[in-house]
Structures are given as structure tokens and as C-alpha cells.
Amino acid sequence: MYNKTKLKNGLRIITVPDRNTQAITVLVLAKVGSKYEKKEINGISHFLEHMLFKGTKKRPTALSIAETLDMVGGSYNAFTSEEYTGYFAKVEKSRFDLALDWVSDIYLNSFLPEKELKKEKRVIIEEINMYLDNPMIYVQNLWKKLLYGDQPAGWDVAGTKKAVKEMSRKKLLDYRKSFYTSQNTLICVSGNFNEKEAIKKVKQSFSKIKKGRAVKKVAVIEKQSVPKRLIYFKKTDQTHLCLGVRAYNAFHPQKYALQILANILGGMMSSRLFVEIREKLGLAYYVSAQLDIDPDTGSLIIIAGIDNKKADKAIIAILKEFKKISEKKVSSIELKKAKDFIKGKMALSLETSDALASFYSGQQLLTGEILTTKEIFKEIDKVSEEDILSVTKDIFKPENLNLALIGPFKEKKQKERFDNLLKEF
């Protein structure tokens, strides 16, 4: 299914061969994201990701970088999260050398030109504005802020406008020097390729990577003794909310039970909350449950968009489902449905080379180990009705509740109303 190779300089390579595809993906991950940042440079991981597309000696402009893979119909992009930053290229299998050269070139050789820095500041500020104008997305940023406050885990990945405006080339160069090192980098090649040749070529392409140790992030402080609420005032036609609880991190033994619980609550169209909130009560177009599981933090969140006048009713209905599932065991039929849904979705989602690259490299980078789908399915099958009940009793407590919402709520009475709903749980 996969193989791991570790070079003398600490660089890690994961190969995932698949002869049943015509594609190949090269993914490079740096173990650094917003959780590794300091307040004055919040957003620098994301800013650096943008700047790596602005020019190298071999490809001196953003246009030449883009055209390299556009000319062969390749897919390419980059992304930044709280935990890592990634760069990838996906091409037809005969273009492997080109994809590897492209990814290694931008990762190792980008100039970070000063003139592009000034322009990119405006671009990123517009990206931040875009999120602010999209309450369905921005409410999830508020959720992190509500849970973790003024520490890296609670900051926006894109950073603040102030920090973006004050970003300098020196800051970016110093940051890259600290984090884009051999021991902090993982490369995954997935798709149709010769494994021995691929490892040799990756080793050659990244031979000049700076040696350096992996850098640790600051510990996340989690402290909560009462229900918490955060309201972002905005004149909207719909209230967008995140309602949920602190839960388990990626190393917790009950993380699979938590995953199944989230699915039962709001992971599919026949889930409890979808049926109750949308089908029976007609309160929302979208309502779902999602998990946020990192190596050091975790939460279970219900996200929904509700008529402003019906926000109270929706919150009450969600809390009712929390209480209901924590008082009575789920049926064996409902449990089996959730397990089969998760396994089926996972199997279907891993049909492509880029999905496989993310699946294997993400596990390795975040937890230090890799489980195959077969091994994960085995863990899922172990979860019992008693496990689900145990998890619900552990996480669904009044002092564990959090509510973040965006809507036209400004008056003190309106805010107190939401506080009272949480306290009544």
C-alpha cells in the first residue's frame, strides 16, 4: 500500500504506488502552520505559501511558474492549516519529472521578491475580506477564537490585516529558514510510477534542502468551567452558528467512537440532526456535524444556517439531540449504518492519487504513524453502543458547551437569551 523512506538528513519520503491510475501526485508538506506562529507574525505561514509562487531562478515570474504545469494540463496548488503547509502537483504519469522539478523548485528556490511582497499584501487582505463576507466560513474561525482565545490555536490562519501589512521579506526569509528544513519536511509521491526511481529522483531534487531539526509549537491551553458564547454582529438574512463541545485529540483512544458519534448526529442526510432540523422542523437548508481533530486539540461542532427569528428554536433542538443521545444508547442498526457510511465514504474518497497522498502523508506528519484503510476500518468496527454512550456522557456537559454565531444580534437581551439557552442544558 505504501512505503516510508528516511534519508540521512532527516527528510522523509512516502511512496504510494497505484498501477490503476494514469496520474501521479507529488506532495510536499512542511510541518508548520498558524499554531507555530507568534502574535506579531500571525499569518506568516499562509503568507509564505503565497510568496513561493512568485518566482525562482528557473521560473522567474508567477506566470512562468503557472504555465509550467498549465501546458501539460496539470493540477497544482498550495494550502496552509493550523498544523502544516502543503504544495502539490498532479500530472499525467509521464510528466512525473516535470512535477517533481516544479514542486522542489518553488519549495527550495523561491526568491520572495520585494515588489511581489507589496502586491501580495493587498491580495491576502482581500482574501481576509472574502472570509469576513462569507459568514458560513467565518463562523468557523470564530469557533476557534471562542475555544482558544488569544493563543495560536485561536488565531486565523490568514492572520490579521495589521500583521499582513507589517510583513517583511526578512521575516519571511527567517521563517522559511527555521521551518522549511529537512527534518521538518515530508514528501509523498502517489500514483503510477516506478518506486525505486522515484525515491532516487526525490533524493536528487531535494539534495540542497537546508538541514535542521523539527521545531516544536507552544502547548495549547484549554480552560473552561462554564458554557461560553461569542456573537459577531452582522446584518445578515440568516444566523450562522457553530454549537458544540470540546472533545478528543488525534491520540485519544476514543477518537473513532467520536467520529461515529458525529456521523450519527449530523454526518449524512439520514442523520439525527438533518432529519430533525431540516426535514421535520424546516429550520435550515444546511446543518451538519463536523470534527476538528488535531494532535493537541479536538472538538465536535454542529454548523447550521438558520432564519434569524428561529435561531433560538434551532439551538434548543440541537441541545435536545445532545441530551437525547447521551441518555440512551444508539441502536445496533443506527450504529452499523454510521460505520458503513464512514467506511464507504473513505473508500470512495481515496480513488485519486492526490487524495491518497494527503491521506498517508497527513497521518505521518501529524501522528507519526500511518494506518491503512483496512486498519482504520478494523478500529471502527470495534466501537460498540456502550462506547458511543460513554463518549456522549463525557463530552456533552454544560460546562463543555460553546456557541459561536454570526447574525444581527446587538442588544444585551438578545445575547443573554443565548447564554440562558446554554445554561439550561
* Residues tagged active-site: 49
Contact 120, 50 (CB under 8 A): yes
CA distance 122 to 119: 5
Query: Assign residue 282 a region: left if phi > 0, alpha if psi is -120 to 50, beta otherwise?
Result: left
Per DSSP, the three-state class of 181 is coil
CA distance 75 to 355: 13
CA distance 346 to 333: 20
Q: To which residue does cell 469557533 refer?
A: 143
Contact 169, 117 (CB under 8 A): yes
Q: Rg of the chain's alpha carbons, rounded to an integer?
A: 23
Query: Assign residue 43 a region: left if phi > 0, alpha if psi is -120 to 50, beta otherwise?
Result: left
Kindly report the number of other CB atoms within 10 A of residue 183's CB atom: 17
CA distance 248 to 298: 5
Angle between helices 412-423 and 311-327 (to 10 degrees): 10
Q: To which residue does cell 528516511 refer?
A: 6
Per DSSP, the three-state class of 234 is coil
In the 8-state DSSP scheme, what is residue 165? H
Query: Is beta strand 228-233 parallel, antiparallel or unpaired with respect to 298-307?
Result: unpaired
Per DSSP, the three-state class of 245 is strand
Per DSSP, the three-state class of 261 is helix
Largest Cα span, the chain: 67
